[in-house]
Amino acid sequence: MRVFIGTDHAGLEFKEHLKRALAEAGHEPVDCGAFEYDAQDDYPPFCFEVGERTVAEPGTLGVVIGGSGNGEQMAANKVPGVRAALVWNTATARLAREHNDANVVAVGARQHSDEEATALVLEFLGTPFSGDERHVRRIGLISDYERDRHRPAGGLPTRSQHP
């Protein structure tokens, strides 16, 4: 699988490690930068690049890396069509794909060893979307809101009204 990878200076060393690990696992890593260490670089452009390329090429996934992964997830999620998930253990990596059909994973390089962070990314890449109706429906609600910027009919979530 083609995997787009982007980071700022905080994840530069891990990105190089991850590219090798992904290639060894049979994936095709595509480097979206940064390409050299610059302590003053800004992560959003790298995350936008990963998101745009992932959305433009169905069947691919993306990885954004930062110190914590928080800002990188936020930036990637600004790209229409991206569903980026910050993961911190294998359960969150697996659920991001199974339940949310996330297409970009965010990892904090300063939060994990290279081996731990690699395991998170590989878990994400190796997990398919479940396709369960409830998850499809929820993703549809998110996509509709992203496109139209208004809530579904009824506004607030529906619940049974019990006295």
Catalytic (active-site) positions: 72, 99
The answer to whether 69 and 117 are in contact (CB under 8 A) is: no
What distance in Å separates the CA atoms of residue 29 and residue 19, rounded to the nearest whole number?
6
Query: Residue 94: in which H helix or E strand, if any?
Result: helix 90-98
Which residues face 135 on adjacent strands?
none
What distance in Å separates the CA atoms of residue 112 and residue 89, rounded to the nearest whole number?
10
Name the residue among 50, 45, 39, 44 with its Cα closest to residue 9: 39
The count of other CB atoms within 10 Å of the CB of residue 129 is 16
The residue behind tokens 């991206």 is 82
